[in-house]
Amino acid sequence: MWVPRPYDPTLCERIVSLAAAQGLDRSEIASALGASLRDFDAWAESNAAFAVALADADTLADAWWHAQRRLALQSDRPHTANAWTRALAQRHGRSAHSSRRVEKAPARSGVPARSAVKVRYDIPDNGKERRPAK
């Protein structure tokens, strides 16, 4: 039976500082603090300040990743734009090798997950025979 670790109010500051300084995501922050993602979920449900700190940490980590590209472009050192693009794609739920969306786990801390937008294209017939699907 899983029981959450005891909550420490000083974790809020540490979570935000780790995300801002290194761009860590929730799993990396949990690992650095010796907690689990399930602990984070339980603490966020029972403590509004912790839920706010998690949201702030997500925003700061995202800002850190976006700043990396800007800073690399402003410096004289070479950077790999493709590696940055793939890392950011994975952070936002896309496969690193495709533009298709990857199914993510349900949202944490009561924030609803974004639903995928589905589009249907109606292509008019141009009078030519279509090749059979492979």
Please write the tens of the pLDDT for every residue from 48-94.
999 999 999 999 998 888 888 888 778 877 777 777 777 777 776 76
Check residue 71 and give its pLDDT.
Answer: 83
SS3 labels along the chain: CCCCCCCCCCHHHHHHHHHHHHCCCHHHHHHHHCCCHHHHHHHHHHCHHHHHHHHHHHHHHHHHHHHHHHHHHHCCCCCCHHHHHHHHHHHCCECCCCCCECCCCCCCCCCCCCCCCCCCCCCCCCCCCCCCCC
